[in-house]
Structure 1
Amino acid sequence: MTQLPGRRACLRLMAACAASVAAPRVWALRAVAETQVQLSQAQSRAFQAWMLRIVNAQIERGPSPRWTHRDCAGLVRFAVNEALTVHDAKWLHANGIASDRRLPPELELTPAQAALRNRWVQTGGTVGHFVTALALVQHNSRFVAREISQALPGDLLFFDQGDEQHLMVWMGARIAYHTGTVSPDDNGLRTVDIQQLTTWKDTRWQPVPNNPNFAGVFRLAFLS
């Protein structure tokens, strides 16, 4: 394979052009707006566990009907918002997650922390329910590193292909993402292991420091 499935449009860009756009942006993305509300360390670990469980449920069972914007940023927004909710029996049933499986602990959020749900800082400083992949890392996350060895479960891998950006979710042993396209026989969800991605034939998708299209690993700003 020479390209990431479902992203043909952005992969037609010339590598040199993409590199010239992406390289300076790597540095620009390191300055993220501070969030006033944060989760504690224990809450952050519980959030990360719930986020991974929710992403896994989309992979294993197919997208939840409640997930309406089916693209890479939409997957992140959905998983984050659902991780910040109360995971009672009604929620478990609606999301197809068995209550008899070992579940992460509840976050026990304060009202201010619970208000983080569906609250995304957009370009220009406004706050709303929607945010693009670029604004998600620029204004709602903090830069961690360009080495994936520094990633924690739930962290985001951000790729800048010039006129389009793409997010992937670091799951630990594997990486999950949405291609951005959906057809009757393909829901657009994918997972790959780190070996597959670091040796991808189209080098623009390799999460390695010498790839100018890989901006790095980012962590949601409200996590400790």
Structure 2
Amino acid sequence: MRKIIIFTCIFLSLICIIIFSLFWQKEEIVNTEKLSKQLIKIEDVDGNNYPDFLELDAQDSYSFSYWFNSIILNIINGYITLPSNYEDCAGLIRFAYKESLKKHDQNWIKNTGYKGIVKEDVKKYNYPDIPFYGTNIFKIDKNNINPDSFSNYASARVLIEMNMDFLSKNIEVAQSGDILVFFHPEDPEFPYHVMVYFEDPVSFEEYAIYHTGPVDEFNSGEFRVVKIKNLYKADPTWMAVPENKSFMGVYRFKILNY
């Protein structure tokens, strides 16, 4: 009987030690996460009205750009399906932007249908687990950089004004993944239009890739890939040249640094 009591005491002691150890480890992880968040400051040292924390270094910027361009091409080629609630020019960009920040593991590849070379992911953070901001990665308040001034949605105008930097009206500065912006005030419903600039690495031919947006309630629009030099054929106001008043210029995402 005495042996049974001793064995029971030892067994219960071991159980208590294990429970305490697990609890202590969990507390340590939580405290480490809290400390990590405390070390992250929401500030704008470079003065571009955008939180420094969300900006990527050169290596991460190249990783993001690779995935952004690859995802855009996969969408155009029908490998990745653009969700119906993203079917307009800004929606295409928002979707590719979010997907570019994700971890591109085997599950992601299987779920999306991606076809292409798998390269390094952005290391600093990954969507949707971004400290403070979570899925709200688009700035929507021009006067603040705090997390509550961000949203998971942004119109074309808001993307341009608060999430991109103007580079030039000279298209020669553009790199694949930069955004071409047009403004047509005569169209009150959709005055802003954005296109993805892409340069073929083999032929060096320049293209504009975009979604037309919905035509009517029965037609959700279509993807188009047009050579930059041929944009004028639809309408002279689509020419990507400095002389065109409707062409606002070449823009780049604020998170990029290269």
TM-score tier after normalising by the smaller chain length: 0.7 to 0.9
Q: What residue is the counterpart of 2:139 in the other structure?
A: 121
Following the alignment from structure 2 to structure 1, what is the Cα–Cα distance between the partners of residues 129 and 56? 10
One-letter amino acid of the counterpart of residue 212, structure 2: T
One-letter amino acid of the counterpart of residue 47, structure 1: F
One-letter amino acid of the counterpart of residue 69, structure 1: Y
Question: Given the alignment of the two structures, is residue 176 of structure 1 paired with residue 194 of structure 2, yes or no?
Answer: no
Question: Given the alignment of the two structures, is residue 79 of structure 1 paired with residue 96 of structure 2, yes or no?
Answer: yes
Q: What residue is the counterpart of 2:179 in the other structure?
A: 156
**TM-score normalised per structure 1:** 0.76
Q: What residue is the counterpart of 2:9 in the other structure?
A: none
Q: What residue is the counterpart of 1:204 in the other structure?
A: 237
**Equivalent residues in 2 for 1:35-46 (5 A)?**
35-37=51-53, 38-46=55-63
Is the CA contact (8 Å cut-off) linking 2:89 and 2:211 kept in structure 1?
A: yes
Gaps in structure 1 of 5+ consecutive residues: 1-30
Following the alignment from structure 2 to structure 1, what is the Cα–Cα distance between the partners of residues 183 and 219? 28
Out of 189, 194, 212, the position equivalent to 2:228 is 194
Q: What residue is the counterpart of 1:132 in the other structure?
A: 155
Out of 159, 166, 185, the position equivalent to 2:193 is 166
SS of 2:103's equivalent in the other structure is coil
Q: CA RMSD in A?
A: 2.6
Percent same amino acid at aligned positions?
A: 28
- Counterparts in 2 of 1:58 and 1:201: CA distance versus 1, 3 Å: closer
Question: Given the alignment of the two structures, is residue 33 of structure 1 paired with residue 49 of structure 2, yes or no?
Answer: yes
**TM-score normalised per structure 2:** 0.67
Moved more, 89-98 or 129-138: 89-98
SS of 2:233's equivalent in the other structure is coil
**What is the aligned residue count?**
191
Is the CA contact (8 Å cut-off) linking 2:88 and 2:214 kept in structure 1?
A: yes
Q: What residue is the counterpart of 2:78 in the other structure?
A: 61
Following the alignment from structure 1 to structure 2, what is the Cα–Cα distance between the partners of residues 49 and 201? 30
Q: What residue is the counterpart of 1:96 in the other structure?
A: 113
Alpha-carbon deviation of 1:104? 2.6
Is the CA contact (8 Å cut-off) linking 1:81 and 1:118 kept in structure 2?
A: no
SS of 1:61's equivalent in the other structure is coil
Higher helix share: 2
Is the CA contact (8 Å cut-off) linking 2:180 and 2:195 kept in structure 1?
A: yes
Following the alignment from structure 2 to structure 1, what is the Cα–Cα distance between the partners of residues 84 and 98? 10
One-letter amino acid of the counterpart of residue 158, structure 1: V
Gaps in structure 2 of 5+ consecutive residues: 1-46, 144-148, 200-205
Following the alignment from structure 1 to structure 2, what is the Cα–Cα distance between the partners of residues 165 and 65? 20
**Structure with the greater alpha carbon radius of gyration:** 2
Following the alignment from structure 1 to structure 2, what is the Cα–Cα distance between the partners of residues 170 and 64? 20
Between 1 and 2, higher relative CO (CA 8 Å, sep ≥ 6) is seen in: 1
Following the alignment from structure 1 to structure 2, what is the Cα–Cα distance between the partners of residues 203 and 222? 32
Alpha-carbon deviation of 1:103? 2.2
* Per-residue deviation, residues 38-76 of structure 1 (Å, max 9, x unmatched): 111111111111001111111101662546221000000
Is the CA contact (8 Å cut-off) linking 1:143 and 1:216 kept in structure 2?
A: yes
Alpha-carbon deviation of 1:122? 1.2
Following the alignment from structure 1 to structure 2, what is the Cα–Cα distance between the partners of residues 166 and 192? 15
Is the CA contact (8 Å cut-off) linking 2:49 and 2:142 kept in structure 1?
A: no
Following the alignment from structure 1 to structure 2, what is the Cα–Cα distance between the partners of residues 220 and 104? 20
Q: What residue is the counterpart of 2:122 in the other structure?
A: 107
Out of 251, 255, 258, the position equivalent to 1:218 is 251
